[in-house]
Amino acid sequence: MKISEIKTYVLKAELENHGFGWSQRVTDRRQTAICEVVTDRGISGLGEAFYFGGPADIAAAIMKDALGPLLIGKDPFDTCVIWDSLYNYTRDQGMKGLTLSAISGIDIALWDIKGKALGLPVYKLLGGAYRNRARVYATGLYEPQNASNIADALAQEALGYKKEGFTGMKLKIGYGIRTDLKYIKAVREAIGEDLYLMVDANHAYNAAEAIRLAREMERFDIYWFEEPVPPEDVDGYLEVKQNSSILITGGECEYTRYGFRELINRRAVDILQPDLCATGGFSEMMKIIAMASAANVPVIPHVWGTNVGLAASLQLFAALPHFPERRFPQEPFFEYDRSPHPLRQGVTREKFVTEQGYLKIPDGPGLGVSLDMDFIKKYTAR
């Protein structure tokens, strides 16, 4: 089997009610870059490149125009060989960021092809399923742009997740310590004591601010504090971690085994959060997980994007080991983005629905999803 063509789809949609905000900015639109790797045997595979903020057109151009020509004629089963050649080709200017998102999208598509060719779900090729369903937490609770009282609006949204059966949810913070505490209090009081509550500052603070906030948050029983400081500030992460009783997490802005080496070796976080669609796809993610497992640092992947990225992340999640293995292991949480996204469900014919706080992991060949081409055409950016 040989790769014969690389197709990309850039989709864009505007959000209602002026979109939503977080500690870094406000967005009024969603977009995505999906790739389809076609082979001479009639099997094609799907992948999605993580992007946020930058135009998805750039990720698509890297996949199709920069990397695409290197793939033609290659055997899609040679995933590690192809990965190393693509990375090395772009290494001098592309060790992190959108280039890696593009490599991720292509790598995911190659694994989809392998699964379809063998008639097996990708998780089987990754070593098998530790679980066949994913306990999800709701990522939402962004700053609404049309609410007169933001704390009240967040409390209402949080209650909605509780009613839907979610056992955990994540609140955006990083607006300043006093504002953060007001939102945290409102959400915790709305959902009660039993549910897990995580907070995510999207690297809004320096270490001193983050430590002060972590201490103030302790009384609200916060499960983890995500990206307290900028990703480059590894010493800041260590300082916060050593001075917080709340678990410190990060890694969605880090890339490849090379990038994760320092976070793992220095034990900078309590939980690593690499994103499958950014850090390098399945091939690279399995190496990062192996390194983390050797250091006994838990991995709970970051998940974002449409159903294509979601389906891929669910395959990975099935094959995610325990940190550590034991008789009654801690079940990891799967990140389930609930923020407004007009493109999320429509891109695939298969739809994802939670049942009592769980998502079923597809067991069809490959990623287990296929594109809805009518939807894709409708939202393709011109």
Could you list the active site residues? 302
The total of other beta-carbon atoms located within 10 Å of residue 377's CB is 10
CB of 278 to Ca ion, least distance (A): 12
Bridge-partner residues for 31, per DSSP? 12
- Of residues 109 and 292, the one with the C-beta less far from Ca ion: 292
The total of other beta-carbon atoms located within 10 Å of residue 257's CB is 18
Q: What gap in Å lies between CA 240 and CA 225, rounded to an integer?
A: 10
- Of residues 315 and 339, the one with the C-beta less far from Ca ion: 339
The total of other beta-carbon atoms located within 10 Å of residue 279's CB is 30
- Of residues 231 and 365, the one with the C-beta less far from Ca ion: 231
* Site size for Ca ion (CB under 5 A): 1
Cα–Cα distances (Å) from 32 to 53, 57, 185, 205, 298, in that order, read: 11, 8, 34, 28, 29
CB of 172 to Ca ion, least distance (A): 8
- Of residues 200 and 284, the one with the C-beta less far from Ca ion: 200
Residue 330 is classified by DSSP as: P
Q: Find the binding residues for Ca ion in span 197-256 (CB under 5 A).
A: 200
Q: Which sign, positive or negative, has the C-alpha torsion 167, 172, 174, 175?
A: negative
CB of 368 to Ca ion, least distance (A): 26
CB of 231 to Ca ion, least distance (A): 11
Q: What gap in Å lies between CA 107 and CA 56, rounded to an integer?
A: 17
Q: What gap in Å lies between CA 354 and CA 164, rounded to an integer?
A: 8
Q: Find the binding residues for Ca ion in span 165-204 (CB under 5 A).
A: 200
Query: Which spans of this chain sit near Ca ion (rule: CB under 5 A)?
Result: 200
